Structure 1
């Protein structure tokens, strides 16, 4: 039993150390303020969709409200064989928004990764040098492109990672998802601040077509169902890290919708976790292992306490250290992305380790379903 106590304690210390290091990294990462310079950068907004009829109106409306010259951006929507009214919604919007340059294409499946196929489908017809990807369930801030433009002009980066936050309703299940989103965003910012970046979100990710081609595109990544964002980023960081930057700015933060169905959330998280098997970054691999071990340790300690194998005080001390480390990381991310809006995820912090352990194990040994399709790891 002494060995078990030591293992639990060692994993907890390792976990807290990782998160405190990430916390310090967020402070090192400069917050970027838009300069309101004259726009010159051309963007091709690439949006892979499948069955997004309920979300497309809000996304299209946010595109119409972008404060950026219409001649400097285009919108390319790649439909991955939707069975709902997504195309009709787009066509109706197009009729009343003629000043915008938009294209609606059907996806061409060549690999086991629909999103990579969709992006590859769009690349040959781009009219602008910059690709900027987002998702069908997102809402774009009005100064989104302008902020990216200013950052690109100042830093001369060729790949830029932007922040993402959930648009939630006032209920516990959405707050539960927000907990994970803030933790992931805090991890993303902290790792970039420590010059160990490895994570991004395709809902807010930009790169030049020239740099994408220079990297060899998705070559070597097509065996993974996901990874059009994270694995491409890690490929870039491995080859030319000086060309990659993180845009830490509330003005560039994209909102994505929380999910209302537990099964869909579980499948989405398994899909995300499955990418970790393709990580080329040793720091990312180490962090993923420590996070999984921490969640498994706390869940195991809790079960042992119920069976009177370990003291409740020991379980409480593990939870307290974990919660404190989680909270300070999320607190810093929350201040930037949600303006410090009240967020105290006590109940979620008890449930989340079990949820995370299940998704991690399923990602390692099984597949997942997404948008009505089954995928293998």
Structure 2
């Protein structure tokens, strides 16, 4: 009883703090800046998606002479590279294709490193081939980048139909909100490479991905930690609806599990002790919560007490996630979060164990 009460108190205070922190993040105002950008898109086997995102970039309300688009092909086994080459003369874009050639240097981080090296502009934007965004996406970044800003983390929304998609939507809204608050508090936890901007000089100064180049995941977070450590007070979260990048929800459970396992597996390589301890406490919190539910079912723990605990945890989660989800264009969070509250502890426990002992497949490559 004491243990579940203590962890629930920490849980409630944690989400109340996040909810308050989200409401304090300043909205990025329109500045009229006109910055030159290099937009980098690392790709592998994206033949079905690459044309859509390039059309998206062609439709940007931003001077075409002020940005270039670099697609880096990471040894695709489909027609991705051929499609890009075919589109270059037909699109009103300053578009280039860079292909990795050294088989000992493959993976997203090598692709991004090649893209940064090839970029002719100082300010880099990164996104993924399976994403889409509004016509003011680049302009929103021009508003955010000032002389003292070295990195800008943008919001990413999950879109799709059905309850499985809605569950992914509210989960990811919570993750993005968590990342936004911790960045704003100069105590970073996460960001998404699907919507990220940084100065090329800052990337080079911290050595890019040198200290984690062969870790499959974490291209976004490890770079975030390194830049914020090297250049304090120069990273912001882009609080602008025009900056929202959308990505599709997984339709199949296997692909979802593979992605989340890849994400959670990087905690082992994280040198930020606060993030490592937070991950362990997060795991223990849900382990104890499930243990308390099991105790109530077996009659060991008072079921009224556990019901009250569960309601309290749900309400504080709803208080935090709902405004974040609305900001990113999501629908009502109530029913997805209600179901989420029931199954998420099992999800956390499974992913935590799988990230340590399991394996996953990503872009046709298997990792242990």
Q: Structure 1 regions of 5+ residues with no counterpart?
A: none
Matched, 1:49 2:43: yes
Going from structure 1 to structure 2, the CA distance change for 1:13 and 1:361 (only over 3 Å counts) comes to: same
**Counterpart for residue 28 of structure 1:** 24
Secondary structure in 2 matching 1:103: strand
- Whether the aligned pair in 1 keeps the contact of 2:28 and 2:143 (CA below 8 Å) is no
**Counterpart for residue 104 of structure 1:** 97
Matched, 1:370 2:362: yes
> Which residue of 50, 68, 73 corresponds with 2:62?
68
- State the distance in 2 between where 1:302 and 1:56 align: 46
- State the distance in 2 between where 1:278 and 1:17 align: 28
**Counterpart for residue 268 of structure 1:** 259
Alpha-carbon distance, 1:222 to partner: 2.1
After superposition, give the CA deviation of every residue in 1:106-161 in whole Å (9 maximum; x if it has no partner): 224576871111011222221111111101110022111111111113x6301111
Q: TM-score, length-normalised on structure 2?
A: 0.93
After superposition, give the CA deviation of every residue in 1:267-312 in whole Å (9 maximum; x if it has no partner): 1111111122233334433332232122222222233333333233
**Counterpart for residue 133 of structure 1:** 126
Going from structure 1 to structure 2, the CA distance change for 1:117 and 1:337 (only over 3 Å counts) comes to: same
> Which residue of 73, 77, 80 corresponds with 1:86?
80
- State the distance in 2 between where 1:331 and 1:111 align: 44
Instruction: Work out the number of aligned pairs and report it.
Output: 366
> Which residue of 150, 153, 157 corresponds with 1:161?
153
Alpha-carbon distance, 1:328 to partner: 1.2
- Structure 1 segment 286-301 matched on structure 2, within 5 A: 286-301=277-292
Secondary structure in 1 matching 2:247: strand
Going from structure 1 to structure 2, the CA distance change for 1:71 and 1:284 (only over 3 Å counts) comes to: same
- State the distance in 2 between where 1:295 and 1:159 align: 33
Q: TM-score, length-normalised on structure 1?
A: 0.91
Name the Cα RMSD after superposition. Answer: 2.0
- State the distance in 1 between where 2:309 and 2:100 align: 48
After superposition, give the CA deviation of every residue in 1:157-182 in whole Å (9 maximum; x if it has no partner): 0111111111222x001011112111
